Chain A
Amino acid sequence: MSAPSTGGASRDGYGSALLRLSSDPRVVVLEADLGKSTKSCHFRELYPERTISLGIAEQNMVLVASGMASSGKIPFASTFAIFTERGFEQVRNGVARPGLVVHLCGSHGGVHTGTDGSSAQSIEDLALYRTIPGMTVMHPCDDLSAEELTVQLLNHENPSYTRTARNKTPRMYDQETCKSLKIGKGSVLREGGDVAIISCGVMVSESMKAAEYLSSKGIEATVVDMHTLKPLDTELIDELAGKCKGLVTAEDHSVIGGLGSAVAEHVSYNGVTPLRMVGVSDRFGESGTPQELMDAMGITYGDIAISCESLMS
């Protein structure tokens, strides 16, 4: 299902999606000085009258968005993933609690962000937003899927948080296959009966690499792009738990509270599914290239493969 790696980063997909959404006059875009980075700048260029600049003031941005949502608008607000966290309580109390449909996008998530260093590498955003009742939480893996899933938010009835990545990753979809994506439904990219790798974001392509490596060793892995962490596709997880020897989760996020935790919370009910988690252990990142950081954090395809092999013995 994978296509040539000619795409952009998932944040580019967010920017393209806003342009596709622009035909609906209810759509408004909010920025906190980082529109060039999150890619909402393309919308601003064409629709300045529907773009609100709030300056470097994320808490205000979140509540301005909820005020607009209460008045019939569909706000898409973005900044770096890490800076959305400054407005976390605002999202909790001012957006989700009254059930106002605001769509928040945090770009530059994960250590994959690279040389900016640990201050910019959010590794806890998915965990935070997952705890808020009624919140949809997504982390697409490439530009095309980010675009498709963001476009689907237009008619979504819940507030959402979408993490996008700064850097390019290999495309997992093409223009046609990405149309089959659906918020809340995991996407099976590869089928194999021995082990299932459930991943999100930049780790999806690493998971595919791991699966290819494992296949050369005689181990066949299913790979799932679990772009939606909440609501979690528990039906798919149950199906995989039933047919494979175990599950491995892979994420560029703390192992505390992210995709691995979400899967663990679910499979703990059946009590028999072996599970390994590949993610950032309880530590901060640092400056470096994406690859250097992924090596240092132990979140490469090799780490995924080792976890898978450990389930086979």
Chain B
Amino acid sequence: MDNVQLEELARQCRRHIVRMIHSAGAGHPGGSLSAIDILVALYANKLRFDVENPDWEDRDRFVMSKGHASPAVYSILHEVGFISEADMMSFRKMGSVCQGHVDMKWTDGVDFSAGSLGMGLSFGLGCALAARMDSSDRDIWVMVGDGEIQEGQFWEAAMAADFHSVGRLNLIVDRNRIQNDDFVEVQMEVGDVAKKLSSFGWDVKEIDGHSMEEVVSAIEWSSNNISSPTAIIAHTTKGKGVSFMENNPSFHGKAPTDEELRLSLEELS
């Protein structure tokens, strides 16, 4: 897909995201909307997977560590054919394959059970070590939130990934600057993440996470760098695409009202 097509697909996913969360009456729009441009670029152009065989062992892995951004994952899994419209819209309802937080046990196409922050990079590292033992060229992609990296385990994994020189481990930090209670800088500023990861031995690139051109080229850069673990720090806007949700901490984990849904879909048309 070219960038214009990717942007259109991202807009469609944003519509799914707000509809899903409105229908569930709960969920996390802010961090889903900040992440979706990257997910679209990954799934549409990069990740190797087989919808007919979700457990294909040589598929690339996408580990969504910020599991509350599940609507973003479900929207793109729907677009690429893993889950139906009905499944997607059953988000958070009893028995749904679309659990509140992404869960590999429930959803085809999901490679990790998230919901507890700070664990995804470790899991991705395990996947990457196994791939190397198998002499497989499958790539492992991990997305974390910026609030999430306050967890100590993230840095344990960052240190271990460098120590074990896993080149096919690709990290994306969704640097949207807002966490549950407030702005990251108020809760516990994480500072210069690129510098910190560089000092841990990672190759790092900073991008505008909503510029499809920059996203696509950073994904290529990361994928081609197999000599060391790589990180893309994606500077994003929480709630991107819906004006009243943008950079608004109150939409970290709140469903839109009927009127807010109408306004959202109007803006995303």
Interface residues of A (CB under 8 A from B): 28, 49-50, 52-55, 57, 59-60, 62-73, 75, 89-90, 93-94, 97-99
Give the docked Cα–Cα distance between A67 and B169 (Å). 12
B113 & A60 in contact (Cβ 8 Å cutoff): no
A residues in contact with B57, CB < 8 Å? 71-72
Q: Does B115 contact A (CB under 8 A)?
A: yes
| Distance, CA A97 to CA B113, complexed state (A) | 8
A-B contact list, 15 entries, CB within 8 Å: A59-B153, A63-B157, A66-B126, A67-B126, A68-B129, A70-B123, A71-B57, A71-B134, A72-B130, A73-B133, A90-B122, A94-B122, A98-B103, A98-B113, A99-B105
A72 touches B126 (CB 8 A): no
Residues of A within 8 Å of B160, CB to CB, are: 54-55, 57, 60, 64
Interface of B is mostly: helix
Q: Are A68 and B103 in contact (CB under 8 A)?
A: no
Q: Are A55 and B159 in contact (CB under 8 A)?
A: yes
Q: Are B164 and A90 in contact (CB under 8 A)?
A: no
Q: B126: nearest residue on chain A (CB-CB)?
A: A67
Query: Are B105 and A63 neighbours in the complex by a CB distance under 8 Å?
Result: no
Query: Is the CB–CB distance between B104 and A98 below 8 Å?
Result: yes
Question: Top 4 closest A-B pairs, CB basis?
Answer: A67-B126, A63-B122, A71-B130, A60-B156
The CA of A60 and the CA of B163, in the complex, are separated in Å by 13
With A94-B119, A98-B113 known as contacts, the answer to whether A67 contacts B156 (CB < 8 A) is no
- Judge whether B125 is part of the interface by a CB distance below 8 angstroms: yes
- Total residue contacts A-B, CB cutoff 8 A: 103
B37 within 8 A of A: no
User: Which of chain B's residues 25-66 have a Cβ closer than 8 Å to chain A?
Assistant: 57
CA distance A59 to B156 in the complex (A): 8
Task: Indicate if the CB atoms of B119 and A93 lie closer than 8 Å.
Answer: yes
Q: B156 and A71: CB pair below 8 A?
A: no
B140-199 at interface with A (beta carbon < 8 Å): 152-153, 156-157, 159-160, 163-164
Contacts of A64 in B (CB 8 A): 122-123, 125-126, 129, 157, 160
Say whether A28 contacts B119, CB under 8 Å: no
A-side contacts of B115, CB under 8 Å: 93
- A70-B123, A98-B104 given as contacts; is B130 within 8 A of A60 (CB)? no
Contact A60 to B105, CB < 8 A, known contacts A72-B130, A72-B134 = no
Q: Are A94 and B159 in contact, with the CB atoms below 8 A?
A: no
CB–CB B133/A70 < 8 A: no
Complex Cα–Cα for A53 and B160 (A): 9
On chain B, the residues within 8 Å of A94 by CB distance are: 113, 116, 119, 122-123
Given A63-B119, A63-B157, A98-B103, is A71 in contact with B152 using a C-beta cutoff of 8 Å?
Answer: no
* B123 contact set on A, CB distance < 8 A: 63-64, 66-67, 70, 94
With a cutoff of 8 Å between Cβ atoms, the chain A residues found around residue B120 in the complex are 63
Other-chain residue from B116, B126, B133 in contact with A93 (beta carbon distance below 8 A): B116
**In the bound complex, do residue B113 and residue A68 qualify as a contact, i.e. CB atoms below 8 Å apart?**
no
